[in-house]
Amino acid sequence: MSTTTKGQVCVVIGASHAGVNFAFNLRREGWEGEIIVYDIDKEFPYHRPPLSKAYLTSEEGTEHSLLFPKENYQTDNVSLKLGIAVNNINRENKSVTLSDGLVQSYDKLVIATGARPFMPPINGIDTANNLFPMRTAEDSVNIRKAFNASEKKRVVVIGGGYIGLETAASLKKLGAQVVVLEREERVLARVTAPVMSEFFTELHQSNNVEISTNKNVVSIETNDGVNTIVCDDNSKYEADVIVVGVGIRVNTELAEKAGLTIENGIKVNETAKTNDDDIYAVGDCTYHYNPHYKTNLRLESVQNAVDQAKTAAKAICGQEDIIYDSIPWFWSDQFNVKLQMVGLSNGYNQIVTRKEDTKNSFSTWYFKDDELLAVDAVNFPKAYMLGTKFIKSGQKLDKAKLEDISIPFKPNNFI
């Protein structure tokens, strides 16, 4: 890169996976100016996926799961400003106003504000005892402390999505009596097929976690520190600790106030640039076009955060023909099961399930006619890897052969 960025300042709002990875990639791509990352969280930037899993069940803290070692921030000259929020973006003056009253100018601005937990409008939710979301390290610590202090160890998880189920599995390992309340007719209803919902329901039930569906929570009554959760069918559940995992709200308020285009998130182009040439956005807060699926998406995943951050860094540093075109992938760990997902199953009209000889090992393949859209692989990484290859290539598959476990699991056998 030329010396044109010397003396320039790139401000990053949010020390998330997206924000921090962007900062280090920007330096790697040749940015010679200053890089400043602001975040209201006082914790050193850490991996978030373990919060509902390993972090919840241990006392180690985030020091063992930092996104980058602390010394790297000095080595790469990335200035990390923790415990400081950005309150306003002034596009005309190219500056941001901080919660400490200071104003910081920028040449390039990157928004990585992510999302926050959605707290549903349940009567009594604000006065419930030991009620927490699961989004930050502080949430995880608070849940563990409240659980350890409780006598009967009764936990109710409101929401049967991945976060809710992962939290339920982790607390069960700690000896909790766990009930999961899901409003829909099955867990994971919005993100996967019935066969996967059935599997995870049975997995939790076999580990003595109670899964109750069609449960719409309408109120929480709290007396002497004990919560009674009331559903619209008049069923009631007592809880010493409540974990709410019913979804998120995207943090777009700052961008919207600055006049950036908002559409199911901060709308960005193929290089992660907003409608302002000097402002980019990356991660969970963005709404971007995916060339493979030919549609606009907003994704909540580490993969999206990291890959989009790389694209933005390259674009800001002047690389041409940069297009964000990644196949989304996700994962979830519950009890002794690892679920790996690749692609997006939206719009599927046929499912092929391949059940392996090994217990709790199978894969679900989502097709729209002859096009493979996505693969869910349970304890079967080969299916995840092969599915990724087939989705990227657009290869037509023989579905009957794919389902037949007498046929060895090799790429050429399914073409």
Tokens found for residue 306: 């990291």
Q: Give the pLDDT confidence of 9-64 residue by residue, as tens digits.
A: 999 999 999 999 999 999 999 999 999 999 999 999 999 988 898 888 887 778 88
Give the confidence band of 2 by pLDDT, cuts at 50, 70, 90: very low
Do 67 and 20 form a contact (C-beta atoms < 8 A)? Answer: yes
Q: Taking a C-beta distance cutoff of 8 angstroms, is the pair 389, 376 a contact? A: no
- Give the whole-number percent of the chain exceeding pLDDT 70: 99
* CATH class of domain segment(s) 336-414: alpha beta
Q: What is the pLDDT of residues 263-315, one digit of tens each?
A: 999 999 999 999 999 999 999 999 999 999 999 999 999 999 999 999 999 99
Q: 3-state SS string over 311-363?
A: HHHHHHCCCCCCCCCCCCEEEEEECCEEEEEEECCCCCCEEEEEECCCCCCEE
Query: Average model confidence (pLDDT) for the chain?
Result: 95
Cα torsion angle, 206, 171, 114, 248, sign: positive
pLDDT at 3 over 70: no
- pLDDT for res 1: 44
Task: State CA 93 to chain mean position distance.
Answer: 33
pLDDT tens-digit profile of 65-101?
899 999 999 999 999 999 999 999 999 999 999 999 9
Residue 86: alpha-carbon gap to chain centroid: 22
- Provide the token pair at 32: 């010679």
> In which residue ranges of the chain is CATH 3.30.390.30 found?
336-414
Task: Specify the domain boundaries for CATH 3.50.50.60 within the chain.
Answer: 3-116+249-316, 125-246
CA–CA separation, 231 and 215 (whole Å): 6
pLDDT at 357: 85
Give per-residue pLDDT as tens, 324-336: 999 999 999 999 9
pLDDT of res. 55: 84
Beta strands in 215-262 (DSSP E): 217-223, 226-231, 236-239, 241-244, 248-250
Per-residue pLDDT at 158 exceeds 60: yes
CATH fold group of domain 125-246: FAD/NAD(P)-binding domain (3.50.50)
User: Radius of gyration (Cα) for the chain, nearest Å?
Assistant: 23
Q: pLDDT per residue over 165-174, tens digit each?
A: 999 999 999 9
Binned at pLDDT 50, 70 and 90, residue 387 comes out as very high
| Closest by Cα among 202, 199, 224 to 211 | 202
Average pLDDT over residues 235-245: 97
Query: What's the chain's length in residues?
Result: 415
Q: Which two tokens stand for residue 4?
A: 């044109």
Give 391's pLDDT tier (boundaries 50, 70, 90): very high
CATH number of 3-116+249-316: 3.40.50.300, 3.30.470.20, 3.40.640.10, 3.50.50.60? 3.50.50.60
| Distance from chain centroid for Cα 240 | 27
Q: What is the mean pLDDT of residues 355-367?
A: 93
- Edge-to-edge, what's the strand order for the sheet holding 350-355? 329-334, 337-343, 371-378, 362-368, 350-355
Of 136-140, 231-235, 258-262, where does mean pLDDT reach its minimum? 136-140
**Two tokens, residue 135:** 């989004």
DSSP 272: S
* pLDDT band at residue 122 using 50, 70 and 90 as cut-offs: very high
For 287, phi then psi, to 5°, come to -120, 110
